[in-house]
Amino acid sequence: GESVGLHLPTLSVQEGDNSIINCAYSNSASDYFIWYKQESGKGPQFIIDIRSNMDKRQGQRVTVLLNKTVKHLSLQIAATQPGDSAVYFCAEKFGAGSARQLTFGSGTQLTVLP
């Protein structure tokens, strides 16, 4: 039979290096974007968000870049640490009222090597 496994994009980085996780979003009408981190056995946890009227936003050790022209979002993590190992999801919001909901992209597995 066919074995089913995880086929997440993966990124391995050396501890202390910078990480860049990329995401292509689907809807040109999306006006809000958010990055979540999901550690093994836990729920997604908010990292940083950005609205479509910005192209860059910085947090503590993290930066999100938004390129609306090519519908691309990236998450940069400075000085990556072992605790950063997790699956990272981008998500977008579009629409209004009850139709406005968070749509997740496929995740990226980040592994930090010692």
Partner 1 sequence: DTAVSQTPKYLVTQMGNDKSIKCEQNLGHDTMYWYKQDPKKFLKIMFSYNNKELIINETVPNRFSPKSPDKAHLNLHINSLELGDSAVYFCASSQDLGSEKLFFGSGTQLSVL
Instruction: Report which residue type is found at 67.
Output: N
The length of the chain, given as a count of residues: 114
The number of C-alpha atoms within 13 Å of 5 and in the hemisphere containing its C-beta is 3
How many chain residues bind partner 1 (CB under 8 A)? 27
Binding of residue 70 to partner 1 (CB under 8 A): no
CA distance 87 to 67: 22
Find the shortest distance in angstroms from Cβ 24 to partner 1: 15
Binding of residue 66 to partner 1 (CB under 8 A): no
Element (H, E) at 92: strand 86-94
Give whichever of 15 and 56 is closer to partner 1, judged by the CB atom. 56
CA distance 103 to 91: 5
Binding of residue 95 to partner 1 (CB under 8 A): no
Q: Which residues bind partner 1 (CB under 8 A)?
A: 4, 6-8, 32, 34, 36, 38, 41-46, 49, 87, 89, 93, 97-98, 100-104, 106-107
